[in-house]
Amino acid sequence: NAGVMQNPRHLVRRRGQEARLRCSPMKGHSHVYWYRQLPEEGLKFMVYLQKENIIDESGMPKERFSAEFPKEGPSILRIQQVVRGDSAAYFCASSPLLETDTQYFGPGTRLTVL
């Protein structure tokens, strides 16, 4: 059973461009979570999704950030018009049916904004 997969592992964007980060949960997992880790800081929750539904987006910045988890395919975290402050490691996690189950994390996508 493959683990949580994220791609790309490294992404470089110039200011003003769009960044799309993908997350494929573990097989059979229907809950996806996104976290962000700024340099030298701890992880911060961003959003929690189930298939086709956003359950909790309390940690998402109000502008430029969006997330989806379609019926088919990976979950996508989209950042429009990136700024240097968006440079961070973005981690995705998944869990099975119950939302309180253990979360399994992917290796992360390291976004660098030039």
Pairing assessment for the beta strands 10-13 and 109-113 based on DSSP bridges: parallel
Q: Classify 9 as helix, strand or coil.
A: coil
Question: Judged by CB under 8 A, does residue 100 bind another protein?
Answer: yes
Looking at this protein, which amino acid is placed at residue 36?
R
Question: Judged by CB under 8 A, does residue 102 bind another protein?
Answer: yes
Reading the block at residue 24, the tokens are 């494929």
Selected range binding another protein among 12-20, 42-50, 60-68, 71-79, rule: CB under 8 A: 42-50
Q: How far is the CB of 20 from another protein (least distance, A)?
A: 19
Burial letters 88-111, b for 16+ CB under 10 A, else e: bbbbbbbbeeeeeeebeebebbeb
Quick one: which of 17, 66, 68, 104 contacts another protein (CB under 8 A)? 104
Residues engaged in binding another protein (CB under 8 A):
4, 31, 33, 35, 42-45, 48, 55-56, 58-59, 91, 93, 95, 99-100, 102-108
